[in-house]
Structure 1
Amino acid sequence: MGESAPMTALPRPLILGSTSRYRRELLERLRLPFETAAPDVDETPRPGETPETLASRLALAKARAVAARFPRALVIGSDQVADLDGQPLGKPGTHDRAVEQLRAMRGRTVVFHTALAVVCAETGFEAEDLAPVRVRFRDLDDADIERYLRAEQPYDCAGSAKAEGLGIALLDAIESDDPTALIGLPLIRTVALLRRGGVDVLNRLPGIAR
């Protein structure tokens, strides 16, 4: 990993290497100016790759891909993979696949690995972290699953459930040390990695002497 960068009076451009509206809305909470860019990375798992390794590899690949196009910028990459007994569960994409996922997860504990990377190509700075979230699903019946999916249509979410919305009704418990990790971007870790990259979130607030 690269060394921590010095704090600068004029921060580098900040880019979120993602087109996810969930990640964009989370990053907006930090009140930093930023742009978004599509990372254009192949997300196909490699043979034998664990969900944890897949999430970490893709987060770094996304950050590097965008940083190559914008070398002066500090780029945030993130990826989330749901892990059921060592098998990755991605975004279902369709209603039928979402039904299959929720049936497989009912009454079970699923680990959502949310990986994070911050990269600056110009300085060679790279930092990574991983925020695992343990989620215990209720023992749902088929009618519960069908009603939920028709109501929320979470087909763009890994694991077929939006815990920040109605999907919370599917769960018995969530265990995490970074409360936004399950939504898609672990903000505690994001703030920490941005500091290492030279951006102190609180020092960027307007109207405060530095």
Structure 2
Amino acid sequence: MPSPETTARSLILASTSPYRRELLERLRLPFSVAAPGVDETPAPGEAPRDLALRLALAKARAVSQAHPGALVIGSDQVATVDGAPIGKPGGFQQALAQLRAMRGRTVAFHTAVAVDDGHRPASAVVTTRCMLRELSDRALRAYLHAERPYDTAGSAKAEALGIALMERIESDDPTALIGLPLIALTRLLAGFGMDPLDALEEPRA
């Protein structure tokens, strides 16, 4: 049976991202979503990994303050090539330029996740490294027309056809690349007494 703490506390995802919502649904925990409304402008000289962590914590804290007593999840991701951040392309030409610059190279995706109960936030950062294939412009253009990944940092959706762009992916947490590291998140939630497995009911004999 679920513990009283697990059933009594509400869970909120501080994100309007459909990708993060779909990932969190895999844990089978009831949750709601709320827009964090956090300024995502990098601080001067801020390292990409530090930016992702700061924003994940800020998103969780912003929604936590508006919903006292809830357990709030915040997450953010920053992609980099040779340490320089790359953002969401927003359109075809920008996406094509990104993929041209990335082919045959390694892109690092720093994905941060934070859980805040209003008192003691906990967090983790997972770095995923993706080596892209040496592909022709024709292949890159065909991919972009087929998938239109213009709202995705790095212009590639690895959870879909974008996996065909990859030579290799290295990560300790396979869903981190999509935007929410579920292994790290499960560990953080368990620390607050909300383990997804504890919340499952055993079938009656």
TM-score by length of 2: 0.94
Q: 1:157 aligns with which of 142, 152, 163?
A: 152
Q: Deviations over 1:126-170 (max 9, x none)?
A: 101001001000112211111111100001111110001000111
3-state SS of the aligned residue for 1:83? strand
The total of aligned residue pairs comes to 202
In 1, Cα distance between the equivalents of 2:157 and 2:25? 19
CA distance in 2, matches of 1:85, 1:127: 29
Q: Segments of 4+ in structure 1 off by > 3 A?
A: none
Q: Which moved more, 1:152-161 or 1:93-102?
A: 93-102
Structure 2: distance between partners of 1:91 and 1:14: 28
Query: Which one-letter code corresponds to 2:129 in the other structure?
Result: R
Which residue matches 1:179? Answer: 174
The corresponding residue for 1:49 is 46
**CA positional deviation for 1:208:** 6.0
Alignment partners' CA distance in 2, 1:71 and 1:111: 35
After superposition, the CA RMSD in angstroms is 1.5
Equivalent position amino acid for 2:153 in 1? A
Indicate the residue corresponding to 2:98 in structure 1.
101
Aligned partner letter, 1:171: M
Structure 1 gap ranges (5+): 1-5
Note if contact 2:73-2:114 (Cα within 8 Å) is conserved in structure 1. Answer: yes
Please say if residues 55 and 79 of structure 1, whose CA atoms lie closer than 8 Å, have aligned partners that are also in contact.
yes
- Find the counterpart in structure 1 of residue 138 from structure 2: 143
Give distance in 1, aligned partners of 2:177 and 2:91: 21
Change (3 A) 1:22 1:162: same
Work out the CA distance in 2 between the residues paired with 1:160 and 1:190.
Answer: 25
1:180 Cα deviation from its structure 2 partner: 0.6
How big is the shift at 1:93?
Answer: 1.4
Asked if the contact 2:64–2:71 (Cα under 8 Å) also holds between the matched residues in 1, the reply is: yes
| Cα shift at 1:206 | 2.5
The match for 1:191 is 186
Provide the identity percentage: 61
2:36 aligned partner? 39
Displacement after TM superposition at 1:51 (Å): 1.1
What one-letter code is carried by the residue in structure 2 that aligns with 1:203?
Answer: D
Q: Which ranges of structure 2 fall in alignment gaps of 5 or more residues?
A: none
Partners of 2:4 and 2:124 lie apart in 1 by 20
One-letter code aligned to 2:54: R
Deviations 1:87-145 (A, max 9, x none): 11121112121112111111100110010000011xx0210100100100011221111
Q: What TM-score, normalized to structure 1?
A: 0.92
The answer to whether the Cα contact below 8 Å between 1:50 and 1:87 also exists between their aligned partners in 2 is: no
Conserved 8 A contact 2:6-2:193:
no
Contact 2:6 2:194 in 1 (8 A): no
